[in-house]
Amino acid sequence: MNLLTADIGSTYTKLTAINTVQEKIIATAIAFTTIETDVLEGFNKAYSKIKNIAPSFNYDKLYCCSSAAGGLKMVAIGLVPELTSKAAKLAASSAGAKVVKSYAFELSPDEQIEIQNINADLILLSGGTDGGNKEVIIQNAKRLTEIEGNFRVIVAGNKSATSEITQIFKASNKQFVITENVMPSFNKLNIEPAREKIKELFINHIIEAKGLNRLQEMSENDIIPTPLSVLMACELLSNGTSDEDGMGELVAIDIGGATTDIYSIAEGKPTVANTIIKGLPEPRSKRSVEGDLGMRYSLSSLRDEINLESLSKSAHVDMGIIDFWINRCIDRPESIAESGSAEQIIEEYLAHSAAKIAIERHVGKYDLVYTPLGETFALTGKDLTSIKTVIGIGGVIVNAMNPIDILKSVEKSPEDINYAKPIGPDYLIDKRYIFSSMGLLSKDYPSLAVKLLKGNTVKIN
């Protein structure tokens, strides 16, 4: 059987042609995503390239994922920042959403205006453990009805408030769904139900909004968010199947045009003696999405985060060239740096910086605390120091002159005293852009997907 997978990205559309009998990839192809007109234009251009490589190829099944135009824009609202607000953000990120902003406590009038200006696709409303505080989530539901916009609300908070919240949203004609609490009891995560609702709303609403409904008609399977597909591939490669061994705990870095995503499939338990865990327990499969660290659509905010003068001095690249290239990429996201050029040096520095900032936001941090028994350490988040596999995903890494220099930005250095970053890992790259593709196949063809992932994820030195 011949399968075709399509990843409709914010910058590029990537197709992979697979034969299940031969258990191999027949061809891959890339074309610029035609967001402004019709995404089928970019899809057809990429498919034409597939046919040029393999003229006899015709697919029996089409699988699709998408992060076109930056994917799902979501706002997460909780009660306490360290608890339900963080739980809501974890649920949203693991489902493939781009969490633009998260809020805690009762929404203020200024925050209402801010949420309206964000113009999110979805809002995840949580707050309170089951049977606990329900006043804040009820008040926030009322505040959301006052906000204009065509957003949908997923309610995943205190079940004791469900009846009142239902009445509030029905009276305002706001589109909403109710699901299980993301934190039903203190320090207990339950993010899977909310994650499934986010995926369902993506399928039912966002696909049409992004102009992908025609592709959905061509596919027998639901289109899912690309980050969710990549997360599924990371989980599969880590865990393996009954027929194919997995690679164990790993970290993956996906640097895209709109976001930089970090995936960690690891328990993340403390490796430092005399450590207490602070805050919510983190899930084994975690994705963090940094919407201000993209290489194209959020490049202006990435530029503000880094020291470009350091690049100019170390790489001997004039600041005028740096400014010109960044402004060009912002205005024309399809811009590609020539191999070996000053522009490619700039691209790789930007990617290195994006990965460094993103991993430091993702990993746990150790802080020295004082107790009646003396000094000890408190770990907030996941300890990834023992991770031995780091995988790079995305064109800027795959096509880099020195991809390992970008990936080494996630490694712990002497100045990273508090960050629980990987120490001395092996570095691999997704050489043929197949992680999102294999995530799409993970349910129907798991053993094949693991085999192809292992065979096409290349170690670099």
Residue 206: predicted pLDDT: 65
pLDDT higher than threshold 80 for residue 351? yes
For the stretch 134-147, pLDDT in tens is 999 999 999 999 99
* pLDDT interval class at 44 (50, 70, 90): very high
* Residue 387 falls inside a structural domain: yes
* Residue 339 falls inside a structural domain: yes
Q: Per-residue pLDDT averaged across 162-178, rounded?
A: 94
* Residue 227 falls inside a structural domain: no
CATH number at residue 125: 3.40.50.360
334, 32 contact by CB (below 8 A): yes
Residues 109 and 191 in one domain: yes
Residues 107 and 189 in one domain: yes
**Amino acid symbol at 318:** D
Residues 199 and 262 in one domain: no
Residue 71: predicted pLDDT: 62
92, 74 contact by CB (below 8 A): yes
Residues 38 and 79 in one domain: no
Number of domains the chain is built from: 3
Residue 92: predicted pLDDT: 79
Q: H helices within 278-408, ranges in order? A: 299-305, 308-315, 319-331, 342-362, 395-398, 403-407
> Chain centroid to CA 192: how far?
16
Residues 60 and 76 in one domain: no
Residues 320 and 280 in one domain: yes
* pLDDT interval class at 379 (50, 70, 90): very high
Please indicate whether residue 329 or residue 204 has the higher confidence score (pLDDT).
Answer: 329
* Three-class DSSP category at 113: helix
Residue 34: predicted pLDDT: 83
Residues 278 and 354 in one domain: yes
CATH number at residue 60: 3.30.420.40
Q: H helices within 240-341, ranges in order? A: 299-305, 308-315, 319-331
For the stretch 205-227, pLDDT in tens is 666 666 788 888 899 888 888 88
* Residue 418 falls inside a structural domain: yes
* pLDDT interval class at 15 (50, 70, 90): very high
Locate the DSSP E strands across 151-201. Answer: 152-155, 175-178
pLDDT higher than threshold 70 for residue 157? yes
pLDDT higher than threshold 80 for residue 160? yes
* pLDDT interval class at 282 (50, 70, 90): confident
Measured CA to CA, the distance from residue 389 to residue 392 in angstroms comes to: 10
pLDDT more than 70, % of the chain: 97
Measured CA to CA, the distance from residue 404 to residue 352 in angstroms comes to: 10
Task: Specify the pairing of strand 250-255 against strand 260-265.
Answer: antiparallel
* Residue 376 falls inside a structural domain: yes
* pTM of the predicted model over 0.95: no
Measured CA to CA, the distance from residue 299 to residue 437 in angstroms comes to: 26
Q: Per-residue pLDDT averaged across 225-248, rounded?
A: 93
Measured CA to CA, the distance from residue 324 to residue 222 in angstroms comes to: 41
* Residue 148 falls inside a structural domain: yes
Residues 323 and 376 in one domain: yes
For the stretch 421-456, pLDDT in tens is 999 999 999 999 899 999 999 999 999 999 999 999
Tell me which residue range forms the domain holding 350.
232-460
Half-sphere exposure (Cβ direction) of 59: Cα atoms closer than 13 Å? 21
Measured CA to CA, the distance from residue 94 to residue 422 in angstroms comes to: 21
233, 438 contact by CB (below 8 A): yes
Phi/psi at 123 (nearest 5 deg)?
-130, 125
Distances (CA, A) of 202 to 157, 210, 216, 220: 20, 10, 12, 16
CA neighbor of 433 nearest in space, from 78, 58, 6: 6
Using a 10 angstrom Cβ sphere, with 0-12 exposed, 13-18 middle and 19 or more buried, the burial of residue 104 is buried
Using a 10 angstrom Cβ sphere, with 0-12 exposed, 13-18 middle and 19 or more buried, the burial of residue 6 is buried
For the stretch 77-110, pLDDT in tens is 998 887 777 788 788 777 777 788 889 999 999 9
Place of tokens 């390992």: 404
Long-range Cβ contact pairs of 139-147 (< 8 A, separation 24 or more): 139/106, 139/107, 140/77, 140/106, 140/107, 141/165, 141/168, 141/169, 142/168, 143/106, 143/107, 143/112, 144/107, 144/115, 144/174, 145/169, 145/171, 145/172, 145/174, 146/112, 147/112, 147/115, 147/116
Residues 95 and 113 in one domain: yes
Q: Per-residue pLDDT averaged across 295-308, rounded?
A: 89
Within 10 Å of residue 337's Cβ, how many Cβ atoms? 17
Measured CA to CA, the distance from residue 443 to residue 271 in angstroms comes to: 34
Residues 92 and 55 in one domain: no
DSSP β-bridge partners for residue 103: 77
Residues 441 and 413 in one domain: yes
Residue 211: predicted pLDDT: 72
Q: Per-residue pLDDT averaged across 30-52, rounded?
A: 91
296, 10 contact by CB (below 8 A): yes
Where b means 16+ CB within 10 Å and e means fewer, 148-180 reads eeebbbbbbbbbbbbeebeebbeeeebebebbb
* Residue 277 falls inside a structural domain: yes
**Amino acid symbol at 181:** N
Please indicate whether residue 66 or residue 24 has the higher confidence score (pLDDT).
Answer: 24
Q: Per-residue pLDDT averaged across 189-200, rounded?
A: 87
Please indicate whether residue 72 or residue 322 has the higher confidence score (pLDDT).
Answer: 322
Mean pLDDT estimate for the chain: 90
Residues 169 and 277 in one domain: no
